[in-house]
Amino acid sequence: MLDFETLRLIWWFLLGFLLAGFAIFDGFDFGVGALLPWIARTDSERRVVINTIGPVWEGNQTWIVLGAGAIFAAFPPLYGASFSGLYLALIGLLFSMILRPGGFKYRSKLPSPLWRSIWDHLLFVGGAVPPLLFGVAVGNILQGVPFHFDEWQRLFYDGNVFGLLNPFALLCGLVSVSMLVSHGAVYLANKTDGALQERAIRIAGIGPLVTITLFALAGLWVAFGLQGYVVTAGGAWDGPSNPFTKTVEMRTGAWLINYSVYPWMGLAPVLGLTGAFLTTRLVRLQRPLWAFVSSGTSIFGIVATAGVSMFPFLMPSSNHPSQSLTVFDASSSHDTLMIMLISTIIFMPIIIFYTSWVFRMMRGTVSSKYIEDNSHSVY
Amino acid sequence: MTDIDVVTLARLQFAATALYHFLFVPLTLGLSVLLGIMESVYFITKRPIWRDLTKFWGVLFGINFAMGVATGLTMEFQFGTNWAYYSHYVGDIFGAPLAIEGLMAFFLEATFVGIFFFGWDRLSRGAHLFVTWMVALGSNLSALWILIANGWMQHPVGATFNFESMRMEVSNFYDVLFNPTAQAKFVHTISAGYVTGSLFVLGVSAFFLLARRNIDFAKRSITVAAAFGLCSSLSVVVLGDESGYTAAESQKMKVAAIEGMWTTEPAPAGFNLVAIPDPQNHQNAFEVKVPWLLGLIATRSTTEQVPGINDLVARNTQYIRDGLKAYSALQTLRKDSTDLEARNTLKKYEYGLGYALLLSKYTNDIPNASDDMITKAAWDTVPDVVPLFWSFRLMVALGFLFIALFATAFWLVVQRRIETSRTFLRLALLCIPLPWVSSELGWFVAEYGRQPWCIDGILPTRLGASSLTTGDMWLSLGGFLILYSTLLVVELYLMVRTIKKGPEDYFGRHTAAVLESAP
């Protein structure tokens, strides 16, 4: 049997893995959606773009269902605190994601150009807004969110919507948008041909450089401008899941402490930066598949950077730092973590197996001719 | 404590988004299996018309499925956004089935549904058939895990209160999985989905027959729908009875409220066919009883009693008093977690803790609640009798109507008279919306009948909500209503349009030729 503290650490890793999986897989769908009105110039081109992700976007979206489910099952207090604390961001996220299924399924059912144009714009919203809001949410969590608990561990959010949209959070939002739009462009470079592919390659050659710049900027901000959090007393790794058992202090630059305590964590930002840089090289060298792998690695690195910088924090409280949620005081019980781990060990390989089967079956590029030949059955 | 208005708004939002979501779920459940059956016939007979049949119903399935996906994400997120305290208090148990649903079921369904539409020319016949059945399996397994989660809210088993983390934690996951309430609800719910799918196929095919077009196509569809629908409508009623039986074991108050049964009758109790409940005076102003029936359904015996509302309130009053002892012990433990006596008291009276929390509606000083407050709180455990009483009866009546409808359809198909029975076809067309009505009524009875609890006997609904502002809540509720209603109109428009256009667009060349040469 695994002990409580090991299980908590495993679930912290798994959570990162699932959220990175979401960013990588649903990420290119978002990116493609955000690029749709800019990269495609005719209806036929727009249909090509939409159909590059048509067969896979539903499966990809399941990563968010899994990510949220994993937070719910493995870190329930974090689920309540982050989802209700960042309420309007989450509602905005839902609203924009609700627009997507119609954009795929309904858009090409009617010939009317107005009808199609409306759905194209909704697909753009459904592609651009979620990455922005995810970034903003992470930006807020890095700064700490104003909340406290009462004696029954009921959470009270003490901030407002204007606090949510602060400069650092918006910068994180831009990192996220830039990263996923680039990822979408790399995906399109793989799945299209002709003029569309050329445009995609051009974007994929520049986008990652923007990401690198913004990511580095955010890093400097974290090092010199942002208050991080440090546990100064209590916080046993195997203690009960109760956020009242520790003392926490805020210090500028504290989010960098982990990199000297656990040097391997430095791998995360390195992957983020080199992955993005390699993407631009590979896409220019006409190696779109490898560029995609590299872009995915970069996303993993960037998502992981946010996670490891904060360890062991999951969601710090900016006005009651000692009530911050950490890996060790916001988890499920030992038994639930164990049950969930077993379920994941059983089902994750199966998921990876059939997902790769589907991707393999749908391999190859999507062309205008394919759309015309299958006008009734494709999106 | 939380402002009551926020709680009401959160409940309205949950009810609205859940009822919307369940406009799409039953059709997904039913049609996915019907698609599997139709494509299996294609696989066995190799006749292209069965492939076209699958394609056409698949297009309608897709239009519906998109809305199911769009409205489904909200359901999961809502526990965190609007029911944060609920998430904290029972997430240790409730989160697991939701997460496993994602791992085991939804991933399967969502991954394969794309290749179902795009894979017709890329996959072999066998591989595509496999894909279709995986979609059906995924959606049905999805329902299983969701109903395990929901069943636990109705009948919370395998969990115990941990004062160190101030929440419920899992003590026996096996009990959570094999919760009889969850199992009964699962089979009842998927059967209802099969009825919905079958009636949809039956009604739409009736439309084609009435318009004297796509005759071969419609007759084949009706044959499948009538056979599958007859089995499903029989099982939905039988399994609904099972649901009632398990409810009578574990949710006595809900059953008593549904029956409008105020006083405990000598066994076996009679079933109120019609009644005018008078909740103010705790009696029925008028009732028509079928002797014995309720006792037989609820206890499956002639000797066991079904407790009435008045007796259950008396029982709950005692639970509240016992719960106060647990509550005080908990307060002691918060000061000194090693106090053995308090630990034992908490353990002994843990079953009443949730009942004591009901007092939070009346006082912040729960341990010193007055007798009057305790009485009021005990009466709060009675759900709203009148709407439950009637919703339940309407749902059951519809269930029997479906049996009659499918039995007739099946008989007409066997007699080869379906094409000419135009009155029946008209009736079948008109009945299309009814399975949705009964499904929504079923959810209403199950969830409204659970009030005042989020988790039966453990967490009062009013405590489960997040601490949000009414402004936030109005914004999200309004947004959801506008967004969902618009999408629903679009969805219905596309459904009707696709049906009216007919299946020809999806026919392969071979079928088109055969149909043209037919007289």
In a domain, A379, yes or no: no
Residue of B nearest to A242 (CA): B165
Residue-level pLDDT at B509 = 54
Interface contact flag, A65 B92, Cβ < 8 Å:
no
Total domains present in chain A: 1
pLDDT, tens digit, 9 for 90 and up, residues A134-152? 999 999 999 999 999 988 8
Residue whose token pair is 């004062």:
B163
Residue-level pLDDT at B1 = 45
Query: Is A175 within 8 Å of A211 (Cβ atoms)?
Result: yes
H or E segment to which residue B454 belongs: strand B453-455
CA distances from B325 to B187, B455, B458 (A): 40, 21, 15
Q: How far is B186 from chain A (nearest CA, A)?
A: 20
Residue of A nearest to B66 (CA): A101
The full DSSP string for B267-321 is: SSPPEEEEEEEEGGGTEEEEEEEETTHHHHHHHSSSSSPPPPHHHHHHHHHHHHH
Nearest to B85 by CA among B477, B472, B462: B462
pLDDT, tens digit, 9 for 90 and up, residues B28-77? 999 999 999 999 999 999 998 899 999 999 999 999 999 999 899 999 99
3-state DSSP assignment of residue A234? strand
Interchain contact B108–A (C-beta under 8 A): yes
Interchain contact B301–A (C-beta under 8 A): no
Residue-level pLDDT at B198 = 96
Residues 6 or more apart whose Cβ sits within 8 Å of residue B338: none
Interface contact flag, B80 A90, Cβ < 8 Å:
yes
Residue-level pLDDT at B503 = 87
In a domain, A378, yes or no: no
Strands B459-460 and A147-149, how do they pair? unpaired
State how far the Cα of B366 lies from the Cα of B368, in Å rounded to an integer: 5
Q: Which residues pair with B277 in a beta bridge?
A: B284
Interchain contact B67–A (C-beta under 8 A): yes
pLDDT, tens digit, 9 for 90 and up, residues B466-489? 988 888 899 999 999 999 999 999
Across the range A70-97, mean pLDDT stands at: 93
Give chain A positions within 8 Å (CB) of B166. 152-153, 242
Interface size between A and B, measured as CB pairs under 8 A: 262
Interchain contact B475–A (C-beta under 8 A): yes
Residue B508 sits at φ, ψ, to 5 deg, of -75, 170
pLDDT, tens digit, 9 for 90 and up, residues B370-381? 999 999 999 999
Res. B515: pLDDT tops 90: no
Q: pLDDT band at residue B518, thresholds of 50, 70 and 90?
A: very low
The separation between CA B10 and the C-alpha centre of its own chain, rounded to angstroms, equals 19
Nearest to B405 by CA among B234, B219, B241: B234
Nearest to A100 by CA among B80, B71, B31: B71
Q: How many CB atoms lie within 10 A of CB B273?
A: 11
Q: How far is B380 from chain A (nearest CA, A)?
A: 22
Interface contact flag, B99 A358, Cβ < 8 Å:
no
Residue-level pLDDT at A297 = 96
Partner residue opposite A94 with nearest CB, options B66, B74, B117:
B74
pLDDT, tens digit, 9 for 90 and up, residues B9-36? 999 999 999 999 999 999 999 999 999 9
Interface contact flag, A91 B120, Cβ < 8 Å:
no
Mean pLDDT of all residues belonging to chain A: 92
State how far the Cα of B393 lies from the Cα of B386, in Å rounded to an integer: 11
Q: pLDDT band at residue A363, thresholds of 50, 70 and 90?
A: confident
Q: How far is B494 from chain A (nearest CA, A)?
A: 8
State how far the Cα of A283 lies from the Cα of A295, in Å rounded to an integer: 10
Q: What value does the CA radius of gyration of chain A take, rounded to a whole number of Å? A: 21
User: What DSSP designation does B212 have?
Assistant: T
User: What DSSP designation does B264 have?
Assistant: P
Nearest to B488 by CA among B70, B109, B201: B70
Q: For chain B, percent helix, then strand, then coil, each to nearest 5?
A: 75, 5, 20
Give the 3-state secondary structure of B372-412. HHHHHHHHHCCCCHHHHHHHHHHHHHHHHHHHHHHHHHHHH
Give chain B positions within 8 Å (CB) of A358. 111-112, 114-115
Residue A271 sits at φ, ψ, to 5 deg, of -60, -45
Residues 6 or more apart whose Cβ sits within 8 Å of residue A261: none
Name the residue range of residue A224's domain: 4-373
Joined tokens for residue A21: 């999986």
Interface contact flag, B103 A344, Cβ < 8 Å:
yes
Q: pLDDT band at residue B300, thresholds of 50, 70 and 90?
A: confident
Residue A227 sits at φ, ψ, to 5 deg, of -85, 125
Q: pLDDT band at residue B514, thresholds of 50, 70 and 90?
A: low
Interface contact flag, B169 A344, Cβ < 8 Å:
no
Across the range B343-370, mean pLDDT stands at: 91
In a domain, A153, yes or no: yes
Higher-pLDDT residue of B167, B244: B167
State how far the Cα of A101 lies from the Cα of A95, in Å rounded to an integer: 12
Which B residues 358-377 touch A at CB under 8 Å? Answer: none
Partner residue opposite B92 with nearest CB, options A68, A332, A378:
A332
Q: For chain A, percent helix, then strand, then coil, each to nearest 5?
A: 75, 5, 20
Query: Is B348 within 8 Å of B318 (Cβ atoms)?
Result: no
Give chain B positions within 8 Å (CB) of A79. 79-80, 84, 87, 91, 95
Give chain B positions within 8 Å (CB) of A83. 77, 79-81, 84, 87
Strands B453-455 and B459-460, how do they pair? antiparallel
State how far the Cα of B291 lies from the Cα of B259, in Å rounded to an integer: 13
Q: pLDDT band at residue B324, thresholds of 50, 70 and 90?
A: very high
In a domain, A92, yes or no: yes
3-state DSSP assignment of residue A227? strand
Give chain A positions within 8 Å (CB) of B108. 351, 354
Interchain contact B12–A (C-beta under 8 A): no
Res. A29: pLDDT tops 80: yes
Res. B321: pLDDT tops 80: yes
Q: How far is A206 from chain B (nearest CA, A)?
A: 31
3-state DSSP assignment of residue B452? coil
pTM of the full predicted structure?
0.92
Give chain A positions within 8 Å (CB) of B467. 84, 154-157
Strands A227-234 and A246-252, how do they pair? antiparallel
Query: Is B364 within 8 Å of B388 (Cβ atoms)?
Result: no
Give chain B positions within 8 Å (CB) of A157. 467-468
Residue of A nearest to B86 (CA): A80
Residue-level pLDDT at A348 = 93
Looking at this protein, which amino acid is placed at residue B44?
A: I
Looking at this protein, which amino acid is placed at residue A260?
A: S
Which B residues 158-187 touch A at CB under 8 Å? Answer: 162, 164-167, 169-171, 173
Residue-level pLDDT at B519 = 41
3-state DSSP assignment of residue A377? coil
In a domain, A319, yes or no: yes
Residue-level pLDDT at A239 = 86
Residues 6 or more apart whose Cβ sits within 8 Å of residue A148: A155, A156, A158, A317, A319, A320, A323
CA distances from A27 to A366, B5, B84 (A): 19, 38, 27
Residue whose token pair is 């299958």:
A374
Looking at this protein, which amino acid is placed at residue B444?
A: F
pLDDT, tens digit, 9 for 90 and up, residues A307-358? 999 999 999 999 999 999 999 999 999 999 999 999 999 999 999 999 999 9
Give chain A positions within 8 Å (CB) of B122. 361-362
Residue of A nearest to B480 (CA): A95
Interface contact flag, A65 B467, Cβ < 8 Å:
no
Q: pLDDT band at residue A197, thresholds of 50, 70 and 90?
A: very high
H or E segment to which residue A327 belongs: none
Partner residue opposite B84 with nearest CB, options A105, A155, A351:
A155
The separation between CA A315 and the C-alpha centre of its own chain, rounded to angstroms, equals 16
Which of B136-150, B214-228, B246-260, B487-501 has the least mean pLDDT? Answer: B246-260
Interface contact flag, A362 B122, Cβ < 8 Å:
yes
Interface contact flag, B87 A70, Cβ < 8 Å:
no
pLDDT, tens digit, 9 for 90 and up, residues A154-172? 999 888 777 888 999 999 9
